[in-house]
């Protein structure tokens, strides 16, 4: 992709901008042209590790550099962190000739912009965005802000950068989730501002989001041009350019509420805006007559890239609505008590109300009803034909893999199934894929992922996290390469979801040996026979009814209290999970020494999450997983 230099011009402002590809030396040269005596580089720890080595040595050749970093995420956008940065800069010797460099995503760009505006009542600002979202959206906004206890982006000002230097090479290290975040904002531009983007944008919206250099270039230029167009006479985004806030009234509330709720986990800005757009579309369908096809298009575009389509079950509507009521657009109009101002659409690319100030009052009660889709749309009662992503992680060297695949292909469930064969580093499983006869409703996907150099427990968690990001189906299931599913496994799980309205369903399992023969548990299989805890665990499982001395069935439970402890356990191969649940739960990739010694697996951590958040689950009461002993977690069997 060639270098392009131009001015981003709107409302009497022209910002010198360059789009580059893997040219950090050009960034340093552009900074050098400002003749700074010192450089204050604001960044975050992830960007510093992934991208700092390419740029910082070049900047240090120009003049002294102070790097101000911290853990990535919304936590950086606080008055406390901002104040600490300002004090460090002043103590270090910053002067009026110094330059502030925002080196990171949207959070860092906001922080750097506000720091530049405040130091000496205004230092020169250079934005070097490293995320897709920052490159095509946030760096162009003059709004610089941090969060407060009352809400998001409530403390700030407007400030114009001297330079915007975009190097798409930094996107090479961007996590897939952040790609989705940036693409969600691009979807917003297409829906609310520039519908002409839609045909080409749709082609880019895939689970992997593997954009070519040409696609990256087109996306950046198109989104920046669309934003300049709506800001042509509204640099501060207080009038017509408020259309850029589409999806943000609910989106900001979801993002901040999730960040404050440890059990929910962080939701990226773009993911939150996507959820906000879905809510806005439901509001608009009720309030403004948005056609159903246009509302469905919102969901389709987000689903294409695997973005979350429902709020995390653990996120309370009341927490979100408390923040919606304090949204930062208060005061532009007078919505009245019990209402909030929202940007709504009456059609794709057509704002509802006055285009000069596209805000409408909406009752908070209606917004709350629209936070989550109605049961029929949300799939709360799963349809028999709902698509399922089935993930099998393998090293390709076990002899049982083809049989595991065959058990998936033999399912009586007739909804669409994508079977993802995820190979850990090697290419040994490729022969399994050859000469297979696939049913019409099943697709086989083979991918190689690498989690080399990590503890086995961490490897499995990391591979599950990366693998599930590849699919888009609303339901997710897992099968290990040495286990088998009975033909009715998926069908019974889907039926239980449909009848119960739960977020996840699990089966029971039947223990088998290497030859497929039933094994009645005479000891606890997941502890070494010499482990002093093995006998106590066996006794607990028998007393809670999980084990029986009469058969090989493990009657797994989410919760099984016994003597003040919870002995609940469910294997990953027994679950059918809604993608929306998994999107708000990431398998923990950090394990303590005690957890490693006790072989606390990712399935155990999932159970803890479900119990801690009161998430509804259901059990089929059928042993449809044939669980082979002697694998990773019980090699001594």
Whether 202 is catalytic: no
State the pLDDT at residue 133.
Answer: 94
Q: Is residue 202 situated within a structural domain?
A: no
Residues 476, 604, single domain; the answer is yes
15-45: pLDDT as tens digits: 989 998 889 999 999 999 999 999 999 999 9
Residues 484, 519, single domain; the answer is yes
Look up the domain containing 517 and give its range.
388-628
Q: Is residue 305 situated within a structural domain?
A: yes
Residues 333, 361, single domain; the answer is yes
Which residue is catalytic, options 143, 221, 350, 589? 143
Which three-class secondary structure state does DSSP give residue 590? coil
Residues 363, 433, single domain; the answer is no
Q: Which residue has the higher pLDDT, 22 or 526?
A: 22
Report the relative pairing of strands 360-363 and 4-10 from DSSP bridges.
unpaired
576-606: pLDDT as tens digits: 998 877 656 677 777 777 777 767 778 888 8
DSSP for 262-300, please give it.
Answer: TTT----HHHHHHHHHHHHHHHHHHHT---HHHHHHHHH
Residues 400, 523, single domain; the answer is yes
CATH classification at residue 25: 3.40.50.1970
Q: Is residue 420 situated within a structural domain?
A: yes
417-461: pLDDT as tens digits: 999 988 876 667 777 776 677 888 899 888 888 766 567 777 888
Residues 501, 559, single domain; the answer is yes
Domain stops at, among 140, 174, 208: 174
Residues 402, 347, single domain; the answer is no
Which residue is catalytic, options 162, 237, 245, 386? 245
- As a whole number, mean pLDDT of residues 480-499 equals 89
Whether 143 is catalytic: yes
What count of other Cβ atoms lies within 10 Å of the Cβ of residue 76? 25
Residues 579, 434, single domain; the answer is yes
CATH classification at residue 560: 3.90.550.10
State the pLDDT at residue 288.
Answer: 84
Domain stops at, among 324, 339, 371: 371
Summary mean pLDDT of the chain = 87
CATH classification at residue 349: 1.20.1090.10
pTM exceeds 0.85 for this model: no
Q: Is residue 219 situated within a structural domain?
A: no
Which three-class secondary structure state does DSSP give residue 526? coil
Domain stops at, among 127, 147, 174: 174
344-384: pLDDT as tens digits: 999 999 999 999 999 999 999 999 999 987 754 443 334 55
**Residue 56 is encoded by which pair of tokens?**
């910082």
Q: Is residue 465 situated within a structural domain?
A: yes
Q: Is residue 292 situated within a structural domain?
A: yes
533-557: pLDDT as tens digits: 888 888 888 888 889 888 999 998 8
Containing H/E element for 361?
Answer: strand 360-363
Provide the number of structural domains found in the chain.
3
Residues 587, 620, single domain; the answer is yes
State the residue for tokens 């005596």.
37
Residues 262, 411, single domain; the answer is no
Q: Is residue 41 situated within a structural domain?
A: yes
Residues 476, 619, single domain; the answer is yes
């Amino acid at each position: 992709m060639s270098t392009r230099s131009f001015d981003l011009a709107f409302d009497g402002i022209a910002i010198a901008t360059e789009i580059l590809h893997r040219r950090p030396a050009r960034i340093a040269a552009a900074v050098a042209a400002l003749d700074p005596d010192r450089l204050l580089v604001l960044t975050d720890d992830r960007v510093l590790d992934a991208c700092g080595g390419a740029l910082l040595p070049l900047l240090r050749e120009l003049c002294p550099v102070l790097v101000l970093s911290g853990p990535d995420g919304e936590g950086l956008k606080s008055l406390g962190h901002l104040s600490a940065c300002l004090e460090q800069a002043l103590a270090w010797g910053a002067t009026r000739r110094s330059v502030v460099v925002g080196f990171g995503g949207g959070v860092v760009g906001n922080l750097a912009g506000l720091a530049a505006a405040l130091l000496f009542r205004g230092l020169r600002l250079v934005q070097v965005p490293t995320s897709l979202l920052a490159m095509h959206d946030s760096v162009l906004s003059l709004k610089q802000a941090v969060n407060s206890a009352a809400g998001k982006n409530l403390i700030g000002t407007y400030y114009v950068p001297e330079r915007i230097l975009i190097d798409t090479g930094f996107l090479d290290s961007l996590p897939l989730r952040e790609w989705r975040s940036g693409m969600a904002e691009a979807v917003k531009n297409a829906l609310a501002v520039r519908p002409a983007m839609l045909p080409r944008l749709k082609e880019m919206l895939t689970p992997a989001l593997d954009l070519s250099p040409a696609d990256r270039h087109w996306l950046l230029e198109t989104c920046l041009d669309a934003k300049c167009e709506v800001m042509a006479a509204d640099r501060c985004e207080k009038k017509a350019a408020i259309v850029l806030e589409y999806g943000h009234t609910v989106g900001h509330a979801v993002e901040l509420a999730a960040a404050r709720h440890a059990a929910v986990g962080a939701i990226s800005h773009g993911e939150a805006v996507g959820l906000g757009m879905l809510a806005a579309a439901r509001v608009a369908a009720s309030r403004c007559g948005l056609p159903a096809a246009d509302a469905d298009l919102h969901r389709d575009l987000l689903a294409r890239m695997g973005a979350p389509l429902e709020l995390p079950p653990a996120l309370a509507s009341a927490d979100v609505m408390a923040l919606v009521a304090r949204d930062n657009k208060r005061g532009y109009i007078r919505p009245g008590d019990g209402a909030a101002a929202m940007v709504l659409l009456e059609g794709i690319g057509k704002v509802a109300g006055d285009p000069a100030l596209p805000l409408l009052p909406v009752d908070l009660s209606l917004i709350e009803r629209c936070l989550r889709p109605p049961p029929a749309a949300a799939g709360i009662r799963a349809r028999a034909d709902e698509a399922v992503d089935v993930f099998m992680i393998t090293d390709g060297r076990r002899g049982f893999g083809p049989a595991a695949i065959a058990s998936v292909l033999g399912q009586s469930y007739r909804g669409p199934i994508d079977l993802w064969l995820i190979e850990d580093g090697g290419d040994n499983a490729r022969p399994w894929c050859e000469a297979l006869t696939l049913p019409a409703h099943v697709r086989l996907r083979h991918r190689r992922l690498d989690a080399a150099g990590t503890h086995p427990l961490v490897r499995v968690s990391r591979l599950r996290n990366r693998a599930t990001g590849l699919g888009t189906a609303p339901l997710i299931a897992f099968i290990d390469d040495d286990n088998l599913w009975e033909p009715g496994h998926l069908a019974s799980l889907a039926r239980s979801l449909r009848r119960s309205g739960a977020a996840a369903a699990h089966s029971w399992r039947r223990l088998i040996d290497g030859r497929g023969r039933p094994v009645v548990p005479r000891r606890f299989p997941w502890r070494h026979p010499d482990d002093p805890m093995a006998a106590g665990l066996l006794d607990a499982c028998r007393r809670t009814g999980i084990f029986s001395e009469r058969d090989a069935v493990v009657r797994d439970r989410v919760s099984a209290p016994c003597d003040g402890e919870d002995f609940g356990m469910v294997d990953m191969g027994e679950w059918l999970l809604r993608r929306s649940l998994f999107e708000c739960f990431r398998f923990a990739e950090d394990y303590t020494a005690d957890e490693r010694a006790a072989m606390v697996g990712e399935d155990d951590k999932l159970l803890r999450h479900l119990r801690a958040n009161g998430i509804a689950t259901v059990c089929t009461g059928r042993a449809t997983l044939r669980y082979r002993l002697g694998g990773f977690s019980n090699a001594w069997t």
